[in-house]
Structure 1
Amino acid sequence: MTTFYAILMDGMIYASWLFLVAAGLTVIYGVMRILNMAHGSFYAIGAYSAASLVGWYFSSNGEANPYWSYAILVGCALLAGLVVGFVIEQGLLRFMYKRNELLMVIVTYALLLILEDATKLVFGVDPYFTYQPYSLLGRSMIGELAFANYDLALVGASVVVGGLCWFVLNRTHTGKVLRAVIHDREIAVAMGVNVRLMFAGTFIVGTTLGALAGALTAPSISVSPGIGVEVIVLAFAVVVVGGLGSIEGAVVGALLVGLTRSMAVHLAPEIELFVIYGVMSLVLAVRPQGLFGRTVARKI
């Protein structure tokens, strides 16, 4: 039973992190049909911003309230996501919305390379460590196993983010308008919907979600060059398994990948690196559009 609990808890924690990473990618593709290769860079920018500012806070305010560091983490993510998302959407993407989807992949991949180098220029190549928020919450015992409370809080954060995304898309006027844009962009324009404004808002939200994932992950990792590239591969695996553009699919995909990887780590560690892509291959063999993906009719 101890092994079972370890697999379950590790899988849930890893799945919550995967969902946070993949949520912004899913939102952007679901509305804008842009397969955003630069999403990993937004994750890295959020992580670097949070790690550098939290590190400065603890080093220059020795007697300050340490719990303010959590507000700094979230605040950095929101600010970085809003600024970077606005600049990129207004400065580049809005001129390319009517272009071919393959071209958009190439453009966002080029953006990934540019942002990776820009991150190194701004923050340097040395790793950042911001362990204080991670250790501050302590640890809890679940049966015979000890887990960091910060990791458990990450599960709660993913539930909140997923719930907000679902609520906005399904229970608000703005969400209903977005769904109309998703299903038929031309009819939405004809009905007076400002599609360009919807696209700008969606991209900024997706960018902010990516930065938030990086900021919340920063206390538990070494923030170093290359983390954005590593993350984008895992994010694509989740959204492909769940179905591109589906929040529900991202949740199920993250759980499936997270629990499967946890089983491999505890029972067969030699196949850990393979198991994520094995799950993706099996799902695509049965449902090429993903578990929750919709078959889209082609317009002629």
Structure 2
Amino acid sequence: MTSLLAVLIDGSIYASWLFLVAAGLTVIYGVMRILNMAHGSFYAIGAYSAASLVGWYFNNGMGPAWVSYLMLVGAALVAGLIVGVIVERGLLRLMYGRDEILMVIITYALLLILEDGMKIVWGVSPYFAYQPYSELGRTSLGLLKVSNYDLALVGVSALLGLGLWAWLERTNQGKVLRAVIHDREIALAMGVNVKLMFTITFVLGTTLGALAGALTAPAISVVPGIGIEVIVLAFAVVVIGGLGSIGGAAVGALLVGLSRAAAVHYAPEFELFVIYGVMSLVLAFRPEGLFGRTLARKI
């Protein structure tokens, strides 16, 4: 029972992190049909911004520890907003309507540029912001001790998923956005400002990516290359769930998280392969993903 509980807890924590990373990626694809390879760099920018700000705060003994949690979120919001607006207005807006493969190449080039840019700004030495992680302490669950920060991450991920669903399903702006998703041309003909909706969507996606990085920063050492590592996992999650589906991203993250946790505890030698095994199994029966929609071609 202890081993099974450990798998469930570890899998849920890992799944919550995966969902945070993948949510922004699937939102951008769902509306803009852009497979954003640079999403990992937005994650890394959020992590670097949060780690440097929180590290400065604690190194200078500025005040109470709870302020650092506000700094994590604030750094992500500012970084995501600034980078998202610059990239969408300065680059992607010039490329709308181009082939999806070309957009993949463009965003991959942007990934390489941003990775080198982060090295120029923050250098290559690791950044640490462990204080918010350790301040919350640990909780005993039977024979297991679990970090309260990790448990809080599960709650944040669930609230974020519910918030995205409520925004898309229950608000007027969300309904307009869904109209753009289903038929961009008709939405434009009905007077919807599609370019503005694209800007809002892309900034939301970059902010979600930066938020994932900021919330992860206290649990890791922030070093060059972390963005490249997570983009592969994020793509696996959204492909399993179905490109453009928030619910699919949540289910895909849960499947991957629990599968990886089971492999770590019962068959560690398969840890590196289990994620791609799950993806291959799903795609063998559902090529469009678990919740993906088959789109008709427009002639």
Task: Calculate the TM-score normalised by the size of structure 1.
Answer: 0.99
C-alpha distance in structure 1 between counterparts of 2:169 and 2:181, whole Å: 13
C-alpha deviation, 1:160, in angstroms: 1.0
Distance 1:119 1:148 in 2: 30
SS, match of residue 147 in structure 1: strand
Distance between the aligned counterparts of 2:242 and 2:10, measured in 1?
Answer: 24
2:146 is paired with a residue whose SS is: strand
1:244 paired to 2:243: yes
C-alpha separation in 2, matches of 1:147 and 1:281: 32
- 1:61, distance to aligned residue in structure 2 (A): 2.0
Structure 2 unaligned spans of 5+ = none
Q: Aligned partners of 2:174 and 2:129: how far apart in 1?
A: 36
The residue aligned with 1:151 is 150
Deviations 1:108-127 (A, max 9, x none): 00000000000000000000
Q: How many residues align?
A: 299
Give the root-mean-square deviation of aligned CA atoms: 0.5
Whether 2:227 is the aligned partner of 1:228: answer yes
Task: Tell me if 1:94 matches 2:61.
Answer: no
What residue number does 1:21 align with?
21
Partners of 1:16 and 1:39 in 2: CA distance = 17
Equivalent residue letter for 2:159: V
Amino acid at match of 2:261: S
- Match of 1:193, SS state, is coil
CA shift, 1:69, in A, is: 0.3
Correspondence for 1:71? 70
Match of 2:163 in 1: 164
Provide the rounded CA distance (Å) in 2 between the counterparts of 1:238 and 1:143: 31
For structure 1, the 5+ residue unaligned runs are none
Letter in 2 for 1:32: M
CA apart distance, 1:143: 1.4
Q: Which residue of 2 aligns with 1:259?
A: 258
Q: Structure 1: how far apart are the matches of 2:238 and 2:247? A: 10
Provide the residue aligned with 1:128 in structure 2.
Answer: 127
CA distance in 2, matches of 1:65, 1:203: 34
Determine helix, strand or coil for the equivalent of 2:145: strand
**2:282 counterpart SS class:** helix
Q: Are 2:116 and 1:110 aligned?
A: no
Letter aligned with residue 279 of structure 1: V
Runs of 4+ aligned structure 1 residues displaced above 3 Å come to none
